[in-house]
Structure 1
């Protein structure tokens, strides 16, 4: 399989983000033109840490990639509030819609990364965080890296993103022409799980639905359990 072969991915995606329970939306009901909406996001960045790096990154998106409607804040936040170090297929310039094709894989991914961040802080355990699950559909052609863990081991390194980050950046920011839509790839954190990294906000179809809420609980030794927050809590050990 060529590394630039694409596949059309038509599916619901699942993404978990840290949240207080219940969540409160910010821009879901806005109805403005694109220029006004961009200004609204910039104003919001002045007082909202979650979108604090928005002004520098917003200019990297074409005007038609500033989405609006139910869940727009959640989509734009994924692109504009990103780890300065980047992710597996993203560099420091701009985030992406990182999501999984099933919620169990999304949980496994976020449990792993949350645990790793906590272990960097002395005295982090015991602790807990609450997460909310987001669901949004995509229907687009993505670079398909599924089934290539051995052939492209450099892109699937568990903890070293240098090769995969450079790979993604070269396709997202080509020297000429338009960048790709994104990448579909196997999860490193859960067998048989599939993730997507979508590079264009417009490809994440609105509305974004907020589904279940979870609480990740780490004991004093750093062992984690996942509880679903509802009338009856359901435990999932990871």
Structure 2
């Protein structure tokens, strides 16, 4: 597999946007102080906070991104980085298993949209209702380093579009790459023609995270979706 050097600014990751919604617990309390107490209780089950406390068996807290304790020196994006590695999906994703997450991003936002929309469409297909509006926000990050690159191997088994076939192959490949000391992998997007993606296995590989644009993806009765920039 070839090795490609990167010095990239502005790689795009899309995450569900929740800032536009009121806190889910707010209706249960009368004051902000009471809300803070409930938030602390809720935090006991947070995978990110559990990892930051050193209680994740698969993620050493020393690997995580940390912000300085003084409020005026807080670094944006650290909690997003930690969450990407602490939260996992049962069975994992293409290049991470169910024990440890990874940071998936792309060179352009339409590739990221195609990737997240494919997963959301699959969820809607499971319930049989294609009526949904989902809002996402960009996380923009910089990456520097030398990475294995599947760009010249579009038929690699890890890129099989069927998750049942592609994910086990991809997870095995990622394990091998990590054992060789590589922090990530470049690969062609499986969901967007000509798209190019990068998966990062180590929190320290992600630099200068900042917020980007917001997007709304809508389904109105069919698996086809529309995309709107907000």
Change (3 A) 1:195 1:163: same
For 1:104 and 1:157, the matched residues in 2 are separated by 20
The two structures have a TM-score, normalised by structure 1, of: 0.75
* TM-fit CA distance, 1:84: 2.3
Q: Is the 8 A contact 2:130 2:219 kept in 1?
A: yes
Runs of at least 4 residues off by over 6 Å: none
1:10 is matched with which residue: 7, 11, 35? 7
Q: Is the 8 A contact 1:14 1:101 kept in 2?
A: yes
The two structures have a TM-score, normalised by structure 2, of: 0.78
2:122 is matched with which residue: 91, 116, 120? 116
Residues matched between the structures, number: 200
Q: Is the 8 A contact 1:186 1:195 kept in 2?
A: yes
For 1:113 and 1:66, the matched residues in 2 are separated by 26
Q: Is the 8 A contact 2:147 2:184 kept in 1?
A: yes
- Give the number of the structure whose residues are more often helix, by fraction: 2
For 1:72 and 1:102, the matched residues in 2 are separated by 22
Change (3 A) 1:119 1:53: farther
1:158 is matched with which residue: 156, 161, 172? 161
For 1:179, the equivalent position in structure 2 comes to 181
1:67 is matched with which residue: 65, 68, 81? 65
CA-to-aligned-CA distance 1:77-130 (integer Å, 9 cap, x gap): 1111121211111111211111101111111111111111221113x3211111
2:110 is matched with which residue: 104, 109, 118? 104
CA-to-aligned-CA distance 1:163-204 (integer Å, 9 cap, x gap): 1121112332x3xxx632110001111122110110110110
Gaps of 5+ in 1: 25-41, 230-238
For 1:107 and 1:75, the matched residues in 2 are separated by 19
For 1:195 and 1:81, the matched residues in 2 are separated by 20
Gaps of 5+ in 2: 23-39, 67-74
RMSD, matched Cα: 2.5
CA-to-aligned-CA distance 1:37-93 (integer Å, 9 cap, x gap): xxxxx9874154x74774787443445422122210111111111212111111112
For 2:175, the equivalent position in structure 1 comes to 169
